[in-house]
């Protein structure tokens, strides 16, 4: 073994088995205007190893050239600088440049000079922290080794101190940064980056493994540089044995390895854990170990906090039943101004209420899960698939993926439910494209398209159109006006008589709502009632109608017989109110009208309500003598079953069956209804009688009462009184 001076210097071709890997070097900058000096120095030092590393030389022939090299990326350990070069003090100027301009305090400087007369002042040597000052003749090989060894040692110490200082800064910064939760994957890759910075190693030597929360199997959660391809691999499949076993050991033993192999362990909550492997070239020194301990304990805390945060986030942004993101998550995605090439779709499962009511809720849940799973599986991951409400799903993604066709295709095949059942489902969808509006507006547009689709094209997907937005705006305007009309008493009731067909005497009247706008126009109830129903305003309007109708009936007391009935239309939204019966009876009492003088006209839509609740409401109403008439009877497809549920007192045959003649089917339908009513002992009235023929036909078929233009149009209160006087004989 060719040891020179002491055991820190070896010849590199030394066959010692402990010879270090020659990847790390000390960079040495030679600055001298004499090329021979460069050559001689390099020859002398070329194959020597200092503190485990060889030297790598950079050469500058002038102070200016040296400054340029020093501005580059190489971190030099030592500069051997000639004092006299382009000027007598060029070397000293270089020294000043290094310390004052570059503020490099770790670089060790050995000054050499051929001319002893140019020796710098003692104060310069101290002020500029010069390691050694020698004349060229003094610097023989041995002296150069010694001098260089001392310089490299002190450089290494200064570097470690610096590392310690900046390491603490890095730890603080990492804690701050990684404490800001952005997801486990970002945490893991952030951890690697921060570790690199802390240890001053290349970023391509790191792998981070985590225990998978579902499979409990460890896998690669983050990897950098040459290990990047390992991302996502199960730990047991890693091709490099050292990396694999050291990560496995750390996870199993729940501890760090800080020897020649570095693998770190971070415990999280709920048995989750991370392990990071770092490819280091030499064992860590005590400062690095100390820093790592602090780093790891800080990161473990950050890791735990992150997991807790993610759990909370899961609760806030995920639908618990189907595991998809929820409405909050969609709103969050839409909170940035929506991308113009994206499309938002709201997908509403048809007839879900029936599925839930007729079958049970567990079955309903399995339907919701099956739809969620299919939507998630069939749309690529850049489409957000969310569940927004009971049977409403949201899709937000590129227009190339989210389209009417792609959505309708999802419902072409039946869905496989738990227990091997297959079920065909359909959905109605509203879509909207962003055109510069905000996220919530986009959601509103898609909602408007969905409403439209539900009205016009069940089972289909429709795009939002601007006409629709105008229609929506009109509806809002109408609603505002209607609210004002109610409070300013611009609503009126018109009355249309019911006629007993056999003697043509008035036996009652239907109250029909009229809206008179400030310019004197009448707006038909078919136009404004649906708007009032959608907004909830119908409840207030309905009460007003009831009270007005009953007051009117009370005012007729002396002009009509006791059994003259006033018929009031009741909308399904009114009837569905839990306290509908209470309010009705209250108004009845308030106006002093006996129950048998009131008739409520209901349509089949009220049968949507839960059967027991419906039955009990009707019983309470009928117990007061109030009669129930089924309005527009025959138009609903489920009329017979509804009849059984509602057990009304009277059927009102829809005018579409009355306007027929003896030879067509619709008239035959009226006859059938009347026959059926007779069988069920229900009373009948035909609405929309316009001609004597229709009147005669209805009478011949056995219908008791009639209503229609033949007898009278709906009339304002005063006109009705005149009509009554003329037709009542009184
Ligand atoms: P409805 O209850 O079926 O009322 C009968 C409708 O037929 C009335 O239309 C009436 O004017 C019309 N009509 C009566 N005789 C004839 C006829 O011979 N020929 C023709 N072609 N039509 C006739 P109106 O007043 O426009 O009411 C339409 C609908 O608005 C009503 O249908 C009812 O469903 C609803 N409605 C009216 N007032 C109220 C109300 O106060 N509350 C509720 N909830 N709905 C109401
Ligand atoms: Mg009616
Ligand atoms: Mg009707």
511 Cβ neighbours under 8 A, 6+ residues apart: 493, 494, 495, 545, 548, 549, 552, 566, 567, 568, 569
| 654 Cα: distance to centroid of ligand 3 (angstroms) | 6
Residues of the chain with CATH 3.40.50.2300: 4-163
pLDDT at 9: 31
pTM (global) more than 0.75: no
Q: Is the CB of 364 under 6 A from ligand 1?
A: no
Task: Render pLDDT for 19-74 as a digit per residue (tens, 0 to 9).
Answer: 334 467 899 999 999 998 899 888 888 888 888 888 999 999 999 999 999 999 88
Structure token digits, residue 633: 């009877």
The rounded distance, in Å, linking the Cα atoms of 709 and 497 is 10
- C-alpha span between 435 and 250 (Å, rounded): 53
Token pair 């008739």 is found at: 599
In terms of pLDDT, which residue wins out, 260 or 175? 260
- Minimum mean pLDDT range among 96-105, 108-117, 525-534: 108-117
Closest C-alpha to ligand 1, atom 42? 569
Segment 90-102 mean pLDDT: 90
Predicted confidence band of residue 497 (pLDDT cuts 50, 70, 90): very high
- The boundaries of every CATH 3.30.70.270 domain in the chain are 327-464
Distance 517 CA to ligand 2 centre (A): 23
Using DSSP, state whether 26 is helix, strand or coil: strand
Question: How far apart are alpha carbons 463 and 431 in whole angstroms?
Answer: 5
pLDDT band at 685 (very low <50, low <70, confident <90, very high): very high
Q: Which residues contact 211 (CB under 8 A, 6 or more apart)?
A: 217, 218, 251, 271, 272, 273
Of 31, 5, 29, 3, nearest in space to 16 by CA: 3
- pLDDT value for 501: 97
Question: Which of helix, strand or coil describes residue 563?
Answer: coil
pLDDT beyond 80 at 201 = no
Task: State how beta strands 53-60 and 25-31 pair.
Answer: parallel
Atom of ligand 1 nearest to the CA of 707: 15
Q: Check residue 630 and give its pLDDT.
A: 92
Please indicate whether residue 604, judged by its CB atom, sits closer than 6 Å to ligand 1.
Answer: no
Would you list the DSSP string of 404-469? Answer: HHHHHHHTSSPEEEGGGEEE---EEEEEE--SS--HHHHHHHHHHHHHHHHHH-TTSEEE--HHHH
Residue in the structure block whose two tokens are 């020194």? 285
Residue 82, ligand 1, Cβ within 6 A: no
pLDDT at 189: 72
Cβ of 687 closer than 6 Å to ligand 1, yes or no, is yes
The CA-CA-CA angle for residues 544, 545, 547, to 5°, reads 65
pLDDT one-digit tens code per residue, 434-459: 877 778 888 988 998 998 888 887 88
Output the CATH code of domain 4-163: 3.40.50.2300
Confidence check: pLDDT of 635 > 80? no
**CA 179 from centroid of its chain's CA atoms:** 23
Higher pLDDT: 538 or 728? It is 538
pLDDT score for 273: 81
Q: Evaluate whether 379 touches 385 at the Cβ level (below 8 Å).
A: yes
How much distance in Å is there from the Cα of 726 to the middle of ligand 3? 26
Q: 588: CA distance to ligand 3 center in Å?
A: 24
Which atom of ligand 1 approaches the CA of 709 most closely? 18
Q: State if residue 708 touches ligand 1 by the CB under 6 angstroms criterion.
A: yes
Using CA atoms, how far residue 643 sits from 93, 629, 651, 663, in Å, is 108, 11, 9, 27
Scanning the structure block, which residue is given the tokens 């609503």?
491
Question: For residue range 296-326, what is the model confidence (pLDDT) as tens digits?
Answer: 777 777 777 777 766 776 777 888 899 999 9
Binding site membership of 132 for ligand 1 (Cβ less than 6 Å): no
Question: 56 by DSSP, 3-state: which?
Answer: strand
Chain center to CA of 621: 47
Q: What is the pLDDT of residues 240-292, one digit of tens each?
A: 888 888 888 888 888 888 777 788 888 777 777 888 888 777 777 777 777 77
Residue with CA nearest ligand 1 atom 19: 688
395-415 pLDDT, tens per residue? 999 999 999 999 999 999 999
Say what percent of the chain tops pLDDT 90: 36
Is 654 touching ligand 1 by the criterion CB < 6 Å?
no
Q: How far is CA 698 from CA 44, 643, 648, 661, in A?
A: 126, 21, 20, 10
* 403: nearest Cα among 395, 391, 411, 415: 395
| C-beta 632 within 6 A of ligand 1 | yes
Longest dimension (CA), the chain: 146
pLDDT at 48: 85
What are the residues facing 26 on neighbouring strands?
55
Q: Does the pLDDT of residue 100 top 70, yes or no? A: yes
CA-to-CA distance for 22 and 19, rounded, in angstroms?
9
CA of 512 to the centre of ligand 1 (A): 6
Ligand number nearest CA of 714 is 1
The mean of the pLDDT values for the chain is 83
CATH of domain 477-720: 3.20.20.450
Distance CA 66, CA 25 (A): 19
Of 81, 113, 117, 74, give the one whose Cα is nearest residue 97: 81
Highest mean pLDDT among 79-83, 155-159, 268-272, 713-717: 713-717
- Give the distance (Å) from ligand 3 centre to CA of residue 613: 25
Sign of the Cα pseudo-torsion (239, 241, 243, 248, in order): positive
* CA proximity to 235, closest of 250, 218, 223, 249: 218
Question: What atom of ligand 1 comes closest to residue 493's alpha carbon?
Answer: 41
Question: Quick one: tokens of 129?
Answer: 């922290």
| DSSP conformational letter for 202 | -
DSSP letter at 6 equals S
pLDDT of residue 161: 66
Q: Which ligand is nearest to the CA of 698?
A: 1
Count Cα atoms within 13 angstroms, Cβ side, for 626: 26
Give the rounded distance of the alpha carbon of 604 from its chain centre.
39
CA of 702 relative to ligand 3 center, distance in Å: 19
- 3 state DSSP class of 557: coil
List, for residues 336-355, the tens digit of each pLDDT value: 777 778 999 999 999 888 77
β-strand pairing of 342-349 with 218-223: unpaired
CATH assignment of 327-464? 3.30.70.270
| 698 CA to centre of ligand 3 in angstroms | 16
| CATH 3.30.450.40 boundaries in the chain | 179-317
* CB 299 within 8 Å of CB 178: yes
Determine contact, residues 309/268, Cβ cutoff 8 Å.
no
- 17 pLDDT tier (thresholds 50, 70, 90): very low
> Are the beta carbons of 658 and 691 closer than 8 angstroms?
no
pLDDT for the residue 313: 67
CATH classification number, 179-317, choose in 3.40.20.10, 3.30.1330.60, 3.30.450.40, 1.10.10.10: 3.30.450.40
Residues, CB within 5 angstroms of ligand 2 (ion)? 569, 601, 631
- Measured from the Cα of 542, ligand 1's closest atom is 42
Q: What is the CA(569)–ligand 2 centre distance, in A?
A: 5
Would the pLDDT of 203 be above 70? no
Q: What is the four-CA torsion angle of 614, 617, 619, 624, rounded to 10 degrees?
A: -150
Ligand 1 mean position to 648 CA, how many Å?
19
**489 vs 688, residue with greater confidence:** 688
Does residue 11 have a pLDDT over 60? no
Nearest to 533 by CA among 496, 577, 564, 495: 577
DSSP E strand stretches across 149-261 = 206-211, 218-223, 257-258
Q: Among the bound ligands, name the one nearest to the CA of residue 652.
A: 3
Whether ligand 1 lies within 6 angstroms of the CB of 709 is answered as yes
If phi over 0 gives left and psi between -120 and 50 gives alpha, with beta otherwise, what is residue 681? left
């Amino acid at each position: 073994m060719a040891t020179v001076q002491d055991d820190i210097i070896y010849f590199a071709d030394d066959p010692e088995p402990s010879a270090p890997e020659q990847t790390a070097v000390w960079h040495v900058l030679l600055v001298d205007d004499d090329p021979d000096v460069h050559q001689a120095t390099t020859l002398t030092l070329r194959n020597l190893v200092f503190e485990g590393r060889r030297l790598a030389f950079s050469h500058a022939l002038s102070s200016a050239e040296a400054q340029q090299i020093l501005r580059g990326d190489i971190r030099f350990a030592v500069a051997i600088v000639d004092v006299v070069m382009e000027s007598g003090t060029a070397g000293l100027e270089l020294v000043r440049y290094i310390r004052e301009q570059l503020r490099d305090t770790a670089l060790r400087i050995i000054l050499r000079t051929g001319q002893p007369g140019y020796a710098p002042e003692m104060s310069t040597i101290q002020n500029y922290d010069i390691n050694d000052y020698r004349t060229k003749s003094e610097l023989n090989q041995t002296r150069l080794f010694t001098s260089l060894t001392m310089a490299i040692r002190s450089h290494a110490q200064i570097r470690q101190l610096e590392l310690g200082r900046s390491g603490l800064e890095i730890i603080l910064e990492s804690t701050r940064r990684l404490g800001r939760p952005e997801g486990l994957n970002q945490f893991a890759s952030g951890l690697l980056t921060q570790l690199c910075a802390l240890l001053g190693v290349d970023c391509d030597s790191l792998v981070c493994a985590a225990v998978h929360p579902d499979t409990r199997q460890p896998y690669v959660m983050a990897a950098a540089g040459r290990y990047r391809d390992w991302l996502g691999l199960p730990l047991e499949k890693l091709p490099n044995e050292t990396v694999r076993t050291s990560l496995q050991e750390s996870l199993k033993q729940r501890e760090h390895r800080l020897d020649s192999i570095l693998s770190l362990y971070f415990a999280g909550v709920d048995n989750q854990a991370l392990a990071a492997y770092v490819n280091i070239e030499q064992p860590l020194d005590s400062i690095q170990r100390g820093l790592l301990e602090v780093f790891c304990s800080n990161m473990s805390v950050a890791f735990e906090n992150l997991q807790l945060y993610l759990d909370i986030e899961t609760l806030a942004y995920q639908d618990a039943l189907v595991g998809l993101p929820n409405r909050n998550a969609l709103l969050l995605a839409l909170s940035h101004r929506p991308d113009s090439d994206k499309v938002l779709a709201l997908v509403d499962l048809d007839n879900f209420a029936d599925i839930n009511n007729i079958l049970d809720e567990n079955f309903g849940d399995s339907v919701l899960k099956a739809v969620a799973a299919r939507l998630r599986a069939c749309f690529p991951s850049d489409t957000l698939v969310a569940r927004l409400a009971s049977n409403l799903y949201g899709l937000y993604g590129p227009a190339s993926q989210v389209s009417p066709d792609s959505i309708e295709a999802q419902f072409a095949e039946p869905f496989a439910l738990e227990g091997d059942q297959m079920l065909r489902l359909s959905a109605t969808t509203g879509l909207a494209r962003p055109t510069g509006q905000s996220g919530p507006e986009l959601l509103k547009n898609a909602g408007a398209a969905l409403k439209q689709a539900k009205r016009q094209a069940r089972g289909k997907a429709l795009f939002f159109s601007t006409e629709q937005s105008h229609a929506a705006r009109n509806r809002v305007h109408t609603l505002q006006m209607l609210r004002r009309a109610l409070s300013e008493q611009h609503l009126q009731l018109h009355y249309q008589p019911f006629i007993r067909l056999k003697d043509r005497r008035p036996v009652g009247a239907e109250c029909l709502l009229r809206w008179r706008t400030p310019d004197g126009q009448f707006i038909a109830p078919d136009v404004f009632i649906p708007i009032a129903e959608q907004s909830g305003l119908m409840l207030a309007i309905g009460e007003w109608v009831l009270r007005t109708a009953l007051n009117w009936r009370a005012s007729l007391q002396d002009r009509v017989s006791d059994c003259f009935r006033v018929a009031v239309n009741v909308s399904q939204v009114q009837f569905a109110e839990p306290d509908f019966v209470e309010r009705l009876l209250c108004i009845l009492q308030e106006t002093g009208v006996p129950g048998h003088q009131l008739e409520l006209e209901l349509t089949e839509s009220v049968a949507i309500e839960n059967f027991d609740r419906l039955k009990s409401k009707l019983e309470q109403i009928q117990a007061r003598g109030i009669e129930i008439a089924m309005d527009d009877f025959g138009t609903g497809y489920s009329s017979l079953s509804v009849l059984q549920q509602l057990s009304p007192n009277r059927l009102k045959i829809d005018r579409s069956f009355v306007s027929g003649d003896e030879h067509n089917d619709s008239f035959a339908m009226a006859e059938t209804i009347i026959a059926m009513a007779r069988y069920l002992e229900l009373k009948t009235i035909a609405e929309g009688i316009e001609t004597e023929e229709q009147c005669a036909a209805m009478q011949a078929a056995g219908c008791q009462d009639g209503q229609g233009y033949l007898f009278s149009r709906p009339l304002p209160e005063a006109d009705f009184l005149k009509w009554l006087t003329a037709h009542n004989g009184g």
